[in-house]
Amino acid sequence: MKPLRLSRQIFLLSTGFVFALLALMVCSSKGNQNQSAADSRNSVTAAAPDSENKRTAISDDIFSSRQNAITRAIAEVSPAVVGINVIQVQRYYQRNPFADDPFFRQFFKDVPVEKRVKSLGSGFIISKEGHILTNQHVINDATEIIVTRVGGKQYVARKIGEDFVTDVAILKIEGNDFPYARLGDSDDVIIGEWAIALGNPFGLFDLGSKPTVTVGVISAKDQDFGRQNNERVFEDMLQTDAAINGGNSGGPLANCNGEVIGINTYILSSSGANIGLGFALPVNRVKRILNDLINYGKVDRTWRTGITYEAMSPLVARHLGLKSSHGVIVSALDASSAAAQAGLQVGDVIMGINGREVENFEDVQSIIDDLDLKKGDLLNFRIYRERRFIIIPVELQTSERRSRGRTS
C-alpha cells in the first residue's frame, strides 16, 4: 500500500507543478501583449505630430505652387482699389410741341430739364492721405460721390481736381494711413506682357466688397486717337485684351510688379460689350498733370510760342531751294518768346512738329490740337534753314490766352 500511496503523491505533485508552469506562461504572455499594446499606442502617439507636420508641409507646398507673379500683383494692388457710386445731374432741353411751327416757336422755347441719375465706376488710392485717381467722366456733374473700400467701409468723397481733356480726376477721402497703389512707368511697357485690370464692373464690387480681376496682355501701346468730338484728347493709349466692362472705368491697369501702368478708360465695341479692345490712359501722362490737379484743381493750358507763320508759296519755296511748297514759313517772332530764345528765326520753314510732317498751313493747328499741351511742355520743331534741316525744341510759356490762326 505504501508504494501506491507514494506514487499517487508524486503524480499529484507533478500535476500541480505542470499547472503552475502553465499559469506562469499564460501570465507572462498577457504581460507581453499588454506591453506590446502600450508600445504600439506610444508609437502612434509619437507618430501623430510627424504626420500632421507632413500634411502641413504638403499644404504649404500646394499653396506656394498656386502663387505666381499675377496673384502676387493682385494681392498688392487690390487693397487700394475702390468702387465709386455717384449721383449725377444730367441736363437736356425738352422740345416744345410748336418747335416746327415758324410762328409759334418764337413764343414757346425749349424747356431746360435737369435729371438726377445714379452712375458707378472705379478708382484707386494713390497716397496714404486718401487721394484717389479715377476718370473724369465717372464723376462728371456729380452732386454726391460715395467711395467703397475693400472690406465694405464707405466714405463721402470730395472732388479736388479734374481735367476734361485727359479724362482724369482726383478725389479725396478723410483719413490716414490708407493702403495705396504704386505708380509705374508706362513708357517701359512691353507689348505682350501681362496686364491686370481691377475694378467695379456692373457694380460687382458692392456684392463682395472687393474688386474683380481680369487678366490679359498689352496688345499695343502709343495708340493715338487725337482730339475727339467732345474735345477730349486720347494719345499714347495702352491697348489690352483684359476684359474691361461698364463700371471698370477709372480702375487701375497693373503689371506683374504690382505697379499701376494705366487707368482703364474705354472700349471699342459695336455692341457695348467687351470684345478684347480695351484702352487705358498711360500713367505717365497722368503723372505730368497730377500735381496741378492736387494743388490747383485744374490744368492750365493757356500757352504760347510767340511764333507767327504764313503759308508757303511755290515761288518762295523755289527761292529757298525747296522742291515743294510743303511747310509754313515763320514771318514774325516775339523777341521775348520761348521760340526766339530757343533759336528760331524769321524766315525759318517749319517742316514738322513732334515727329509729324507739316505739309500745309492747316497742319500746324491740327497737330497742336491733337496734342495735350500745357506750360512747360516741349514742342520739337523740324526747321529748314539755309538748305539744311535742324531740330529746335521750344518750351511752352504761359499766356493769358491761346492764340489761333497764324500766331501760336
- For residue 272, what is the domain's CATH number? 2.40.10.120
What is the spatial distance between Cα 121 and Cα 169, in angstroms, rounded to a whole number?
12
In a structure prediction context, what are the per-residue pLDDT tens digits for the chain, which is 408 residues long? 455 455 565 555 566 555 555 555 655 555 555 555 555 555 545 555 666 776 676 676 776 778 899 999 999 999 999 999 999 877 767 776 666 767 666 666 776 777 778 889 999 999 999 999 999 999 998 999 999 999 999 999 999 999 999 999 999 999 999 999 999 999 999 999 999 999 999 889 888 889 999 999 999 999 988 888 888 989 899 999 999 988 999 999 999 999 999 999 999 887 777 788 999 999 999 999 999 999 999 998 888 888 999 998 888 888 889 988 889 999 999 988 889 999 999 999 999 999 999 988 888 888 888 888 888 889 999 999 999 999 999 998 876 544 434 556
Contact, 163 vs 293, CB < 8 A?
yes
- Together in a domain, 155 and 87: yes
What is the spatial distance between Cα 300 and Cα 284, in angstroms, rounded to a whole number?
18
- Of 248, 271, 296, the residue at which a domain comes to its end is 296
pLDDT score recorded for residue 310: 92
pLDDT score recorded for residue 300: 86
Active site residue 137: yes
Going by the DSSP 8-state scheme, the letter that residue 407 receives in this structure is B
CA angle (5 as vertex; 4, 6 as ends), nearest 5: 90
Q: Provide the phi-psi class of 39: left if phi over 0, else alpha when psi is between -120 and 50, else beta.
A: alpha
Measured between alpha carbons, how far is residue 139 from residues 40, 87, 133, 143, 173 in Å? 72, 9, 11, 9, 14
What is the spatial distance between Cα 223 and Cα 195, in angstroms, rounded to a whole number?
16
- Together in a domain, 237 and 365: no
Nearest to 148 by CA among 207, 71, 213, 198: 207
Active-site hit among 78, 122, 219, 249: 249
- Together in a domain, 242 and 322: no
pTM: 0.72
- Together in a domain, 275 and 316: no
Contact, 379 vs 353, CB < 8 A?
yes
Cell numbers found for residue 35: 506591453
Active site residue 167: yes
Active-site hit among 119, 122, 131, 137: 137
Cell numbers found for residue 323: 522742291
Contact, 263 vs 134, CB < 8 A?
yes
Active-site hit among 163, 167, 241, 372: 167
Contact, 116 vs 143, CB < 8 A?
yes
- Of 296, 321, 345, the residue at which a domain comes to its end is 296
pLDDT score recorded for residue 302: 84
Going by the DSSP 8-state scheme, the letter that residue 372 receives in this structure is -
- Together in a domain, 282 and 317: no
What is the spatial distance between Cα 198 and Cα 181, in angstroms, rounded to a whole number?
12
- Together in a domain, 286 and 181: yes
Amino acid at 271: S
Contact, 371 vs 354, CB < 8 A?
yes
What is the spatial distance between Cα 396 and Cα 378, in angstroms, rounded to a whole number?
6
Nearest to 371 by CA among 291, 309, 311, 305: 305
| CB-CB neighbours of 391 under 10 Å | 10
The CB-side HSE value for 129 (13 A sphere, CA atoms) comes to: 5
CA angle (230 as vertex; 296, 272 as ends), nearest 5: 115
- For residue 327, what is the domain's CATH number? 2.30.42.10
Amino acid at 219: S
Q: Is residue 61 part of a domain?
A: no
- Together in a domain, 114 and 251: yes
Q: In which residue are the cell numbers 464707405 written?
A: 154
- Together in a domain, 286 and 362: no
Going by the DSSP 8-state scheme, the letter that residue 109 receives in this structure is P
- Together in a domain, 317 and 272: no
- The parent domain of residue 222 ranges over 76-296
Measured between alpha carbons, how far is residue 125 from residues 83, 144, 197 in Å? 11, 19, 15
Q: State how beta strands 259-267 and 182-183 pair.
A: parallel
Which residues, in sequence order, are CB contacts of 82 under 8 Å at separation 6+? 122, 123, 124, 125, 132, 147, 148, 149, 150, 200, 205
Query: What are φ and ψ of residue 43, in 5° steps?
Result: -65, -45
